Structure 1
Amino acid sequence: MQANRLKRIDALTGPLLVRLFPRRKKADNNVAPGSALIIRPGGIGDAVLLIPTLRALQAAYPACRIEILAENRNAAAFEFCPGLHAVHRYDEPAELRAVLKRRYDLVIDTEQWYRLSALVSRLVRARRSIGFATNERRRLFSDAVPYDLKEYEPFSFFRLLAPLGIQAPADLAVPFLELPAAARERAAQLLARLGGRPFVAIFPGASVPRKEWGGVKYRQLAASLVLAGCAVVVLGGKEDEDVADAICRATGGVNLAGVTTLTESAAVIEATMALVTGDSGLLHIAAGLGTATVSLFGPSDPAKWAPKGERHRVLASTFPCAPCAKWGTIPACTHEGGCIDADPAQVSRTLLQLLTELFPG
């Protein structure tokens, strides 16, 4: 995968390349930016959880032209944040070159650890730069801010606005994502076959195999939900089609894997009673829409990544070595069958109890 290659390149060359640049000087704190570039590499989940910070930046500087430098794999997530002026992709060389030719008042690198994005921020012609001070990358920013591995990620992103005098809210306002009307219309068409019946959505996929629960377990969960009277809809990408097909053939569920765009998947999630999934981009979309969730955590830390509040239930691994993921890296594991050790009956009970609380009628 390209992401893994970038991580290896970063580990081998990043520390040296960072030291080739002089330390960035502190910038004037009192000038409101007229233009800003926000760098967000990585997957869909981080991009979604960044959106409350983007909305706060928009509110603080309504006249500021805000552009995003993302990747092909997460660029679509910024469709949930209207008002952005452009979304560029740094893994498209022509788009990266175009960004480097422009001037900005402010650049904010939202990457948490890796150095390559900090190097890009240093190459961007900007009066002021902000980023996380998690390693030697701190020398490339005019304002380097702390990062907490135990803090829910949306609030970590809000730290990047502190040098601008923008404070994090006490609580995260939900919903913080907006859906295009066309996505809602398409979702309604796809769900019409349910005849208006309430349903539970399942996303069995994951960005990395170690975060997967397993198709057989999801199939057993879906079967128990059908027995309890719940309709089931399975979401996913092209890579999830076989697993989704097996779940739906066994339960009569609606298979939407490989059928929907990201915004259309989000519209399905908005319409569902609850989403069941692992630590995934769709989990964070559900949190951003205010949809109830039951999430299954293995290597990832629920304190950092799991949705918060009474509408969410988290089943975390009970293995003593979990969570083990740190800075986007999962160490080698000897557990057979993965480290998400929740069984389907437990997940079903948790979900049905949550639905009873949320929909008592």
Structure 2
Amino acid sequence: MQANHLKRFDSLAGPLLVRLLPRRNKPAAAMAPGSALIIRPGGIGDAVLLIPMLRALQSAYPSCRIDILAEHRNAAAFEMCPGLHAVHRYDEPGELRAVLKKRYDLVIDTEQWYRLSALVARLVRARRSIGFATNERKRLFSDAVPYDLKEYEPYSFLRLLAPLGIEAPADLAVPFLELPAAARERATQLLARLGDRPFVAIFPGASVPAKEWGGVKYRQLAASLVLAGCAVVVLGGKGDEDVADAIARATGGVNLAGATTLAESAAVIEAAMALVTGDSGLLHIAAGLGTATVSLFGPSDPAKWAPKGERHRVFASTLPCAPCAKWGTIPPCEHQGSCIDADPAEVAKTLLQLLTELYGG
């Protein structure tokens, strides 16, 4: 079932289904889990930002067998978190049925708002369950955890471990992603034509039009980078090939859109001096690898989703209605197309200043 169909079904049937199931009671005593199921529906970005929590759980319980219940669209992100036992897909009925037949000591639903994953967590045979207390879904967990719309998302996910006595670190350890050796080897092959030239990676894609900056603006940015002596590598999926090709042709850059897996794209980002993109899964991958970023935000709240630290710069929309996205939904708006109003010349200037600070003149 596609993501928008899942959301529509959730909004129509979710509240009623939640009320039909009995409440989850608290366990009699806390015990170290020997097995855990972590539920993570949604996109790539959420999956990537969940990985610090998974690493903290692995560190606290080294012998715990951790399974993931993800979706087709984000399952590949968990290739960058070694040590997981298995990754199942939430939107594949056969795999979901297989998970529901198993027993776990612990289930953690990491979905922030929608109810279907909470229903799945309630149906899983587990001694203890943890999830966010954002609506009526809270009655389905033995431990319901508060959620803060202004808290950087990795810390929100780490908050789910509080009922287990695991405290969130003051600062995220970076890098928190680990790439497969084969992905790095493939990236090296794809980048061979650049020789030793330093490069900036650009990802012009977006999940919705409101998060797009536009191919013309990315081309203007890329041209400024080339004039400053930087090579440009453009990343993207199959749907980004035309825009990526136009950027690469105009600047003599390398177009890898549609040519890489998620892990291979991550390996290219790891090799880059910086990544420029909107609020996207690749942005969060760059943050998780320690690669510098310049990010362009429209409807999303940078406080919640933008990378933090001295290696990152953020352009937030100046529209009076921004940010407007909440719980993964952008409300109907009179503005057509992109909400990102950053000037390409200013973005280029900021990026070049950042590169000078990090790498010298």
TM-score calculated relative to the size of structure 2:
0.99
Q: Is the 8 A contact 2:209 2:337 kept in 1?
A: no
Per the TM alignment, residue 206 of structure 1 is displaced from its structure 2 partner at its CA by: 1.1
CA distance in 2, matches of 1:115, 1:24: 15
In structure 1, the residue matched to 2:6 is: 6
Tell me if 1:73 matches 2:86. Answer: no
Classify the secondary structure of the residue corresponding to 1:13: helix
Aligned residue for 2:325? 325
Q: Secondary structure, in 3 states, of the residue corresponding to 2:263?
A: helix
Shift of 1:30: 2.2
Q: How many residues align?
A: 361
Instruction: Give the CA deviation at 1:29.
Output: 4.3
In structure 2, distance between residues paired with 1:227 and 1:81: 38
The residue number in structure 1 matching 2:250 is 250
Taking the aligned partners of 1:194 and 1:269, their CA distance within structure 2 comes to 14
- C-alpha separation between the residues in 2 aligned to 1:92 and 1:160? 26
Shift of 1:343: 1.2
User: 1:205-284 counterparts in 2 under 5 A?
Assistant: 205-284=205-284
Q: Which residue of 2 aligns with 1:197?
A: 197
Distance 2:30 2:122 in 1: 21
| Counterparts of 1:155 and 1:116, CA distance in 2 | 23
User: Counterpart of 2:277 in 1: which secondary structure?
Assistant: strand
Could you tell me whether the CA contact under 8 Å between 2:301 and 2:323 is conserved in 1? yes
Contact 1:298–1:323 (8 Å) recurs in 2: yes
Matched residue of 1:206: which SS? coil
Partners of 1:79 and 1:354 lie apart in 2 by 30
Residues 204 and 240, structure 1, Cα contact 8 Å, conserved in 2? yes
**Deviation digits for residues 270-324 of structure 1 (CA, Å, limit 9, x no counterpart):** 0000000000000000000000000000000000000000000000001111000
**1:74-125 superposed Cα distances (whole Å, 9 cap, x missing partner):** 0000001000000000111111110000000000000000000000001101
Q: Give the Cα separation in 2 of the matches to 1:89 and 1:339.
A: 33
Deviation for aligned residue 1:28? 3.3
Deviation of the 1:334 alpha carbon: 1.7
Q: Determine helix, strand or coil for the equivalent of 2:318.
A: coil
Partner secondary structure for residue 275 of structure 1: strand
In structure 1, C-alpha distance between the alignment counterparts of 2:222 and 2:29, rounded to whole Å: 54
Between the aligned partners of 2:349 and 2:87, the Cα distance in structure 1 is: 42
Q: Superposed, which structure 2 residues align to 1:1-361 within 5 Å?
A: 2-361=2-361
Deviation at 1:247, TM superposition (A): 0.5
1:336 positional shift: 3.9
CA distance in 1, matches of 2:158, 2:29: 17
Query: Secondary structure in 1 aligned to 2:191?
Result: helix
Identity %: 88
Q: Distance in 2 between matches of 1:13 and 1:2?
A: 16
SS at match of 2:300: coil
What is the rounded CA distance, in whole Å, between the counterparts of 1:210 and 1:225 in structure 2?
A: 25
**Consecutive unaligned residues in structure 2, runs of 5 or more:** none
- CA-CA distance at 1:224 after TM superposition: 1.1
Deviations 1:237-282 (A, max 9, x none): 0010000001111111000000010000000000000000000000
Q: Is the 8 A contact 2:210 2:337 kept in 1?
A: no
Give the SS at the match of 2:285.
helix
Offset from partner CA, 1:178-221 (integer Å, 9 cap, x none): 01111111100000000110000000001222111111111111
Partners of 1:83 and 1:20 in 2: how far apart?
37
- Pairwise CA RMSD: 0.9
SS at match of 1:277: strand
Amino acid at match of 1:131: G
* Secondary structure in structure 1 of the residue aligned to 2:217: helix
User: 2:213 corresponds to which letter in structure 1?
Assistant: W
Aligned in 2, Cα 1:29/1:341: closer, same or farther, shift over 3 Å? farther
Are the aligned partners of 1:29 and 1:164 in contact in 2 as well (CA < 8 Å)? no
> Which amino acid in structure 1 is aligned with residue 250 of structure 2?
A
* Counterpart Cα distance in 2 of 1:88 and 1:82: 15
- Matched residues in 1 for 2:294 and 2:347: separation? 8
Relative to structure 1, the CA distance from residue 342 to residue 29 in structure 2 (aligned partners, 3 Å threshold; closer, same or farther) is farther
Inter-partner Cα distance in structure 1 for 2:54 and 2:337: 39
Q: Give a deviation string over 1:4-30, Cα, whole Å, max 9, x none.
A: 111111111100000001111111342
Q: Which runs of 4+ in 1 moved over 4 A?
A: none
